[in-house]
Amino acid sequence: MGLYLDACAATPPHPQVLAAMAEAQARFWANPSSLHTPGVEAAEALERCRQELAELLGAPGHRVVFTSGGTEADNLALLGLGRRLKPGRLLLSPLEHPAVAQAAAQLQREGWQVVLLPVGPDGRIDPTDFGPLLAPPTRLVSIGWASSEIGTLQPMAELARLCRDAGVPLHSDAVQAVGQVPVDLGAVPVNLLSLSAHKFQGPRGIGALLLAPGLEIEPLQHGGGQEGGLRPGTEAVALAIGLVRALALRLEALPREGPRLGACRDRLLERLLACPGLRGSGAQGQRLPHHLSLLLRSAAGVPLCGRSAVRALARRGVAVSSGSACSSGRSSPSASLLAIGCTAAEARSGLRLSLGPWIDDDALAPLPGLLESLLPTLPAADPS
């Protein structure tokens, strides 16, 4: 697959996940809502997945709703809870995935006030500044556990405790964090948490929303009442099995793979920053261990187009991104880079590299020289 450095967008399915799904397709093909023996067996397999997923995330008492992925989980969380509450103020991180930002925009059209939280130049929210913002009329908060674009890890334990103490429900889009860093809902009292399987070598087309005990939300769709009435449609048992198997494998490997990838990333970053025209962005400490965020400049200091760099690298067999894969088709500047103080031109010069278990130092060795040779060929970023 060449040099694949876009794990934040998608990851290749683990061979053991593919094997588990193939077996599940053969064994649990029946409709889990059916009352005959094949249906009951499928339903039991699905419930085992639900229980195991909650336990893997330290949340055995949480409700698990399987969705089509992180986008649906984010929309179900914000719109499902927001429409159950009296409209008030929704606090939002400015680094959110478009799924969260657009769901919040819909709530704003329905009477909510949406306020973007201040962040530092590293993208982190200061708990000291955050606490006072939880006073009325704040009724809901959504903060991504980790930024897709700049890799920043938020101080979720502190932020969650402040929300709990203020009695304000907290949603976290943890799509980029689950499987990359420890996520333990027993220690971090997040009320609603979204995840997606294809970020940790699971199948595409499935994610989940975890709901704290006692929390009720409204469904976005209506149908046969599956997933406790919150997500109608015949459940994909094999996909659920693939999700859980992928996460179990990833968490088993995390104590060794996290530090290994972090060290690999740091060595690569050191070499890249030695190249004229490359500089880092976002947090350099509290960040995803496999994530690397760069800004591109010419020899004269002019920001260069990140999207052009992505295309040039792709022609040479290197897969990277210029931001969130779900917004990479747009030419607008990165909202996350703007939020940490970048100019519009700089916010179009971003390059994201994200590593996976298939990467080692030898595979990365040619990359700094390749990037340095490409910089003089890239056009300037649009400054407007």
Amino acid identity of residue 82, one-letter, is G
> What pLDDT, on the 0 to 100 scale, is given for residue 370?
94
Amino acid identity of residue 80, one-letter, is G
Verify that 153 and 287 share a domain, yes or no: no
With residue 128 as reference, give the H or E element that holds it. helix 127-130
Q: The pTM is what? A: 0.94
Q: Looking at the domain assignment, is residue 384 inside a domain?
A: no
Written as six digits, the tokens of 369 are 């020289």
Instruction: Name residue 115's beta-bridge partners.
Output: 91
Give the Cα separation of 109 and 283 in Å (integer).
33
Final residue before a domain boundary, out of 223, 249, 275: 249
Verify that 287 and 228 share a domain, yes or no: no
Verify that 245 and 267 share a domain, yes or no: no
Number of domains in the chain: 2
Give the Cα separation of 158 and 144 in Å (integer).
14
Verify that 173 and 73 share a domain, yes or no: yes
With residue 116 as reference, give the H or E element that holds it. strand 113-116
Give the Cα separation of 367 and 372 in Å (integer).
9
Q: Give me the tens of pLDDT residue by residue for the chain, a chain 384 residues long.
A: 689 999 999 999 999 999 999 999 999 999 999 999 999 999 999 999 999 999 999 999 999 999 999 999 999 999 999 999 999 999 999 999 999 999 999 999 999 999 999 999 999 999 999 999 999 999 999 999 999 999 999 999 999 999 999 999 999 999 999 999 999 999 999 999 999 999 999 999 999 999 999 999 999 999 888 888 899 998 999 999 999 999 999 999 999 999 999 999 999 999 999 998 888 876 667 899 999 999 999 989 999 999 999 999 999 999 999 864 444 445 689 999 999 999 999 999 999 999 999 999 999 999 999 999 999 999 999 998
CATH number at residue 292: 3.90.1150.10
Verify that 81 and 170 share a domain, yes or no: yes
Domain that holds residue 361: 3-7+255-377
CATH number at residue 23: 3.40.640.10
Final residue before a domain boundary, out of 209, 234, 249: 249
Q: Which residues are catalytic?
A: 326
Q: Looking at the domain assignment, is residue 382 inside a domain?
A: no
